[in-house]
Amino acid sequence: MLIPTLFQPSSPRNEINFRAPTVDDALQFSGVSTEQEEQTTTKYLDAMQVGDVQSSAKWTAQDRRTALWWIYTHSQSEGAYQTLSYQCAHCNELHHYDFDMADLADQVELLTVPPYVEVEIPVRGVPYLWNLKPLDGVGMEHLEMMYSNLPAEDDPDYKKELANLKVVEITLQAHLADQPDDFQKAAEMRYELIRSMDVNSEFVALAANVKKMNKTLHHGLPIKIHKGQCQLYVKPHECPTLAKEDKTVSTRLFFQFRGVDYLPGNVAQLLGDPD
Ligand SMILES: [Zn+2]
C-alpha cells in the first residue's frame, strides 16, 4: 500500500514520507502499554519513514498524532471505521455515531505562520523574551513519564504533584534564546526561573500566553491536550431524533486519541482469532 506524502502540519514545507506497516512492524509494536505511548510513537514514526529519517521526537504533539492517523487511515483497505456512543443532550437518547477516521482529512490544518510566538514577560521585574512553542515529542515523553509517576488521587501529595505538573507543562512550552542545547538542562533552568516568578502577575501572564499561543498555532487534526493526553474532536454529529422533526441540532464529540490504538499491533485481531 502506498502512503501519500504528509506535509508536516506545523511546518508544511517539510515533506514526510512513510511506508505501510509490515507484519514485522505489527509483531514489534504489539502489546505496547498505554503508559509508554509517547515513547513508542517516537520509535514507530521513526521506523516507518522512508528516505531521510527525521526525528519525530522534534515534531509537535499534533504533528505526531496527525502522522499516526495518516499512516493508519492510508493503510486500512476497508476504511477506518469507529463508533462513538453518547447520551444526546438535545433529546436525551443514546446515539451511536459511526464514522470513517479518513473523513477527518478536511479537518487537518496546516500552519501558515512560524510555529512559535514571542512574548516579553518579566521574571522578578527583569524583562525576558520568551519563545512559546507547542509541546513536542520530547516534551510529551517527559510529561508521560511524570504523569505515570503521579501518586494515587487519595494520596496527600497528589494535588501538590498535579499542580507541579501544570508548571512543568508551561515550562516545556516556554523557551528562551540563551538556554542550554540539552533538553533536560534547558528545562531545569527554565523551571527554576519560572518557579521564581511572581505568581499573580508574571506567572499568570506566562500561562495565559501559552494558552493563547496554542489557540493561535492550532494545527494538524483537531486535538486538545489535557493532562498530557490527546483528545481528538470529530465532526459534529446531527441528532437523528430531532432531524425527524426537521430540527437540526448537533453535538461535537471527542475521544481520547491513544497512540497505541493506531499502531499495527494486534495480529490476533487481524486474523479474527480470539486473543
Ligand atoms: Zn439526540
Q: For residue 98, how far is its CA from the centre of ligand 1 (angstroms)?
A: 14
pLDDT of residue 272 exceeding 90 = no
- Of 22-36, 62-76, 130-144, 212-226, the one with minimum mean pLDDT is 22-36
CA of 242 to the centre of ligand 1 (A): 6
Q: 267 falls in which pLDDT band (50, 70, 90)?
A: low
Q: Is the pLDDT of residue 275 over 80?
A: no
Q: How far apart are the C-alpha atoms of 39 and 137, rounded to whole Å?
A: 8
Tell me what pLDDT residue 199 has.
Answer: 97
CA 256 / ligand 1 centre spacing (Å):
22
- The C-alpha torsion from 257 through 259 and 263 to 267, rounded to 10°, is -70
Better pLDDT: 228 or 191: 191
Over residues 124-153, the pLDDT tens digits come to: 999 999 999 999 999 999 999 999 999 999
Q: Would you kindly state where each structural domain of the chain is located, as residue ranges?
A: 6-110+256-270, 117-216
Q: Is a pLDDT exceeding 80 seen at residue 65?
A: yes
| Helix pair 61-74, 37-47: axis angle to 10 deg | 60
Could you tell me the distance, in angstroms and rounded to a whole number, from the CA of residue 251 to the centre of ligand 1? 9
Distance 234 CA to ligand 1 centre (A): 17
> What is the CA(94)–ligand 1 centre distance, in A?
7
> What value does the mean pLDDT take over residues 55-66?
97
The per-residue pLDDT for 31 is: 81
Cα separation, 229 vs 119, whole angstroms? 26
pLDDT in tens, 147-187: 999 999 999 999 999 999 999 999 999 999 999 999 999 99
User: Separation of 241 CA from ligand 1 center, angstroms?
Assistant: 5
Reduce the secondary structure of 41-78 to three states and give it as a string: HHHHHHHCECCCCCCHHHCEHHHHHHHHHHHHHHCCCC
Cα of 92 from ligand 1 centre, angstroms: 6
Does position 269 have pLDDT exceeding 70, yes or no? no
Q: Is the pLDDT of residue 268 over 90?
A: no
What distance in angstroms lies between residue 101's CA and the mean position of ligand 1's atoms?
22
Give per-residue pLDDT as tens, 11-20. 999 999 999 9
Whole-number pLDDT of residue 225: 85
Average pLDDT value for the chain: 93
